Amino acid sequence: MGRRNTNSPPAQSPNVTGKLRTTMKIISTLILTLTLATGFAQFADNTDRHNERNVYLQALKQYLDFRATDSFYSKLKHIDTLYVYKDTKTTDSLLNKIGTTTIIMIDDPYTFIKARGGQGITLYSIFPLDFENGEFWVSFVPFIVTIDKKRKRGLMFSNPGSYKIVYKFDNGHFVFVRLEDHGI
């Protein structure tokens, strides 16, 4: 009888090999997609700290411009102070001013409102940059925040809607496309 070579791998059926190949393709595609998405998100989300090119600052600027020119909002009072909920992902790089509007970061709305004698504020919560179908956007919600008088402690948050500032990324810059008003 002949000797059997124990170093060679056992023969696999074509069905197992095909399934393995398909699984490996799926895993490879998934790894590649996640790697590219992460790399692209890091590049696109690199927002030059503390300058006018910051995408979150530009989104707020587009919103203020919209309020100044929209037929409904332009009749309302100009926003002198924009209260923004402090979030290390989105607000660390904001400047303190946009035109004549001052930006104040709030990390504890209750203490801030109490210090103002209980006078409520509109507090803007900014969400991280998102991407889909070739468009980037920054979303934010202006909450009307007041002290909950019934409970004597705590806050009431009223949400009049949200805004989505949409951009395309062209030649290394965010190019404004549109503002979507998702009011109630």
So what's the pLDDT on residue 46? 39
Read off the pLDDT band of 39 (50, 70, 90): very low
So what's the pLDDT on residue 93? 81
pLDDT surpassing 50 at residue 43: no
Residue 61 located in a structural domain: yes
pLDDT surpassing 70 at residue 26: no
Q: How many domains does the chain divide into?
A: 1
Q: Which domain holds residue 161?
A: 45-183
> How far is 121 from 113, CA to CA, in rounded Å?
7
Residue 172 located in a structural domain: yes
Residue 26 located in a structural domain: no
So what's the pLDDT on residue 63? 92
Residue 10 located in a structural domain: no
So what's the pLDDT on residue 143? 94
More confident residue, 8 or 81: 81
Residue 9 located in a structural domain: no
- One-letter-per-residue 3-state SS of the chain: CCCCCCCCCCCCCHHHHHHHHHHHHHHHHHHHHHHHHHHHHHHHCCCCCCCCCCHHHHHHHHHHHHHHHCCCHHHCCCCCEEEEECCCCCCCCCCCEECCEEEEEECCHHHHHHHCCCCCEEEEEECCCEEECCEEEEEEEEEEEEECCCCCCCEEEECCEEEEEEEEEECCEEEEEEEEEEEC
Residue 32 located in a structural domain: no
Q: Calculate mean pLDDT across residues 42-61.
A: 66
More confident residue, 38 or 115: 115
Report the candidate in 109, 56, 101 with the shortest Cα–Cα distance to residue 85.
Answer: 109
Residue 30 located in a structural domain: no
Residue 21 located in a structural domain: no
Q: Calculate mean pLDDT across residues 45-69.
A: 78
More confident residue, 167 or 70: 167
